[in-house]
Structure 1
Amino acid sequence: MLTDEYVKRVYAQVEKRDGDQPEFLQAVREVFESLEPVVEKHPEYEKAGVLERLVEPERVVKFRVAWTDDEGKVQVNRGYRIQFNSAIGPYKGGLRFHPSVNEGVIKFLGFEQILKNSLTSLPMGGGKGGSDFDPKGKSDAEVMRFCQAFMTELCRHIGQFTDVPAGDINVGAREIGYLFGQYKRIRDEYSGVITGKGLEFGGSLARTEATGYGLCYYTQEALRVLKNDSFEGKTVVISGSGNVAIFATEKAQALGAKVVTASDSNGYVYDPDGIKLDIVKDIKLGHRGRIKEYAERVPGAEYHEGCKGVWTVPCDIALPCATQNEIDEESAKALVANGCKVVCEGANMPSTPEAIAVYQDNGLLYGPAKAANAGGVAVSGLEMSQNSYRLSWTFEEVDNKLKSIMENIVANSLAAAKEYGHEGDLMLGANAAGFVKVANAMVAQGVL
């Protein structure tokens, strides 16, 4: 429940203006509940209208994307870029291509990105973008034509000192290559305007692995500090089978855990002997197949229709890496009943508020997405640095920097939680630590 009058007033204004955007409202409320002790300690934030400005994007760009399919028919999608907050650096955040994309989804992602980027300690503001285009089932030529049409409009609004997009769901190496190529052709410049690029044209080593690896570095450090424990010998349930899930599985296995699940939008596989990652990579990265193929290729593995069933599998640690709101109250209760002690989020806002309440009521170690999955944007920031320097760091250099950033996020979150009277609360600590840095920058820069 919101109790602070200033916080309540601003949230009521958000509800009135954006009542048709449930994901955005959910993200704002979760953050606002954490920020009440911060706002009470810093009355200057109310005078400066920090919360009112924080929830209102600096710029919302919405545009038509017309492209031609392989049959010569014109298709039309909607494109978005929401430049939310630039108090601590140029806008930074991914592009998502998925039928579920709308303005509310992009706003929730952009809002979360403000605090996530702040937590990395790198100079990056918050932004997000995407389209309701679905690359699945499209030919490479169709994806290229869509990306070129999308970038023809987007290029007006981005730049290495203004807004630096990256990939997100369904925007991988193929899409980033087409987007960067079109930007370069139109603007006639070779700059670090997009991250997640191929290694041949300015990308960073360890960027592909960053979100999944970072999630595990964060989880390992939180376990060490709060539980004097580690991944070693633990059974781990991971949802998803995309980039984040694959490399979270890889790193968890390297840290001594047994990962027993993988999933996609159709269902999940359970392998009691541990997921064979080379097979998942072949299915998902090799030919963009469905995860059910895993059970057909691995003796003893089981395939189950329906992706939510993955949360009924007994485990010590759960790492949701698929999509928003994939764990509801019922799923959270199933995790607790089956022995889960740790939930750290690789996807953006994968737990509903009711699920988070279950974690907290049962004393689970809970790492919120904006902290736990910040590794991807952290290495994007490192890619920006390498582009500016015109050099390339080794995989080990980038990986060590990533590990250090994730460990510092845990430390800074716990320090903020203690400062504001909620010792050990990683969710409140992440929101508070990320917010204070942005809020102080906003106050210092005047009314913008």
Structure 2
Amino acid sequence: MSNKELQALKERYVAAGVASPNEQFADHATNAELWDADGKRMIDFAGGIGVLNIGHRHPKVVAAIKAQLDKLMHACQTVMPYEGYVRLAQKLSEVTPVKGHAKVMLANSGAEALENALKIARAATGRTNVICFNGGYHGRTFMTMAMNGKAAPYQTDFGPMPGSVFRAPYPVPYHGVTEEEALRGLQMTMKADSPANQTAAIVLEPVLGEGGFYAAPTSFLKALRKICDDNGILLIVDEVQSGFGRTGKMFALEHSGVEADIITMAKSMADGMPISAIVGTDKVMDSSGPNSLGGTYTGSPTACAAALAVFEVFKEEDILGKSIRLGEKLNQRFTQWQEQFTHVDNVRGLGPMAAFEMVESKESRKPMPEMAAAITKKAQEKGLILLSCGMFGNTLRFLMPVTIEDSILEEGLAIVEECLKEVGA
């Protein structure tokens, strides 16, 4: 079917709240290239929102899924467990930076991982409250909507959010929140809203995802670790978008040397298959009672096979090395654009989890979300999938596969530069 025909079906049958404004429909893809239903080629700088760090349809992952389909599609691991689940749990336990020996629960999505992480934290501490950060994004279930540090569009129309969720400032000096002010804000939250003896966990992204690709300073993460240790609070680190090689490390937290009590992950851990994980210190993970955790599809055999194949690809193809080198290329090009264009500022990136802002001027730093939107629209017209994000909607973020070929990377960056010129940046 054509894009036009599919669009007519979408308008008739797909709920407006979930329908994409994009009138192109993906048909097939390879690595960093995607073709729509009309055969138009697109370069993918979004990666399904950070899901495809090793590219669309990596051959090793596809082969692993096909082989698993010939053996077992579903059993429900709480009814009858299977090898893939326990092997993947072992792999995750070995590489995830948590305190002490780690144990693992597998789930289906990032939001489900965060929900379960909080359930486990409450069971482990006997406390109810959770403190999150402005700009954070954790999902679209009710609890994770309450945890998000941005109301629209995630909470709009859905009525009261669950209680026992409190918020503190995230350090973004470019927008006026220093690390010292963020820590003072956290201390005030613990004084005014959520005392330590009622707080089960502090939850944060080491690099804000939807909030704008701002990385938390190492000193801030170390300060959070000390606050948690001093007060019996668990530190939950959300690596759903920043994990699995997006920042030049397997997990962004590794840049700081800090260890969490629980880390959540999803997106690129299985190269497009729906799976997530909650990895935490063994005593914490074992704190809830029998049959208290689980789900019908959690850690499905096919998704586990894909995730295990991803680990093999990381080792065989030096994905972390490629990630570091991609980050260096992006930083170099973005720095040139910052010098060249009046409205491009605040170039940043932890590895290739990279971004910059569209602003009225480098002096005022006033966000220009309309210019960011114009650039993403023009990019799509020219054959490039590009996303904006941030509290003000003025950040352009880059999530192309780490495995992108050099020639395709250059072609995509040339399109971005062309768009910057056309919008008068």
Q: In which range does the TM-score fall when normalised by the shorter chain?
A: 0.3 to 0.5
Per the normalisation by structure 2, the TM-score is: 0.32
Per the normalisation by structure 1, the TM-score is: 0.31
Q: Which protein has the bigger helix share?
A: 1
Q: Of the two structures, which has the highest relative contact order with CA contacts closer than 8 Å and spacing of 6 or more?
A: 2
